Amino acid sequence: MKQSLRFTNRNRRFRCLKMEIKKAIRNRSAVISYSLVLGLVLFHGIRAVALYEDLYDYWNSGNMPGNPMITSMSLFCRWLGADVTSFEGNLFYYLLPVFAVLPYGGSLVEEIKSGYTKNILHKVSRRTYFLSKYIAVFCTGALVIGVPLLLNFTILSFFLPAIPMDSIYPYGVIGEKSMWADLYFEQPWLYTFLYILLDMIFAGIIAGISTAVAFFTKHKPVVLLSPFFVLMVIDFADNLLSSGWELSPMKFLHVLPVANDRTEVGILLFAVVLFFLTFGIVWVKGGKSEAL
């Protein structure tokens, strides 16, 4: 009897999570957000290829004096995550908290206000529903950032030279104290994929902020914009404190260096704190028995 009840509860949790993920993928907001992000990264890819072809044609014509520094147009220097000089790259990372939350971040507020939440809580436990919601928001936030970045890098890999970076060139150089500096010069492919993974994880955590905030306000615009404002406050505090570590996701999620050094320990601690803060709110508030 106990085993049968345990199996039934597990099956309900699985079905609830499956349903939330389906809703997260199959909704108008997700389609709009993916279209916006994919359009941005594809436009960046087209411009990066065009700039490289113009430089190569100019150099091949024999009219360019001196060293053309082709590494400045290398794949590892010009994919979206590393291209800190382009409008598209800066816009992408500035709006990352908005892009991450758009697909499904406002769903909890919508379902609470529509009465759907009260109905579903008659079928599954509160924690099952709210944790499934958090997981779905996390996954959509990670995918809406990670998939376009991977697509951008893959497309550019067909057109731009995959030349390993050299420390003697002024383009694409990071300091020896920067995070994963050895990988950058020795294993640039692995370095790039690790950064895409890092961006995906942080995008998921950032999107999760909206689920936590939904327990405190039922204003959808506030919920959707809360990750952006949280990151803006963190960025302001980071600039103000000048600790020597780069602790602003709006900066360290970009590949190339900024004012401060980035360390694995600092970024890991930041991710753990932000995750447990948002997840903890969902766990505690979502486990309470009173109706919403």
* Residue of 155, 151, 161, 154 whose CA lies nearest to 55: 161
* Closest by Cα among 248, 244, 221, 223 to 233: 248
Listed residue (251, 245, 234) closest to 94, CA to CA: 251
Contacts of 247 (CB under 8 A, 6+ apart): 234, 238, 260, 266, 267, 270
H helix or E strand, kind and range, residue 237 = helix 220-241
Strand partners, 261: 245
Closest CA to 81 of 226, 194, 217: 194
Per-residue burial over 132-147, b if 16 or more Cβ lie within 10 Å, else e, is bbbbbbbbbbbbbbbb
Q: What is the pLDDT of residue 291?
A: 46
Interior angle at CA 175, CA 171 and CA 258, nearest 5: 75
Q: Give the pair of three-digit tokens for residue 46.
A: 């087209």
Residue 204: per-residue pLDDT: 94
Residues 36/99, Cβ–Cβ less than 8 Å: yes
Number of helical H runs and strand E runs in the chain: 13, 0
Going residue by residue through the chain, which has 292 residues, state the pLDDT in tens, using 9 for 90 and above.
444 445 455 677 778 888 888 888 888 888 888 899 999 999 999 998 888 777 666 566 666 565 556 676 788 888 898 888 889 988 999 999 999 999 888 888 888 888 888 888 888 888 888 888 999 999 999 999 999 999 999 999 998 888 777 666 655 566 666 788 788 888 889 999 999 999 999 999 999 999 999 989 889 899 999 999 998 988 888 778 766 667 788 888 888 665 556 777 778 888 898 899 999 998 888 777 554 5
Predicted TM-score (pTM) of the model is 0.87
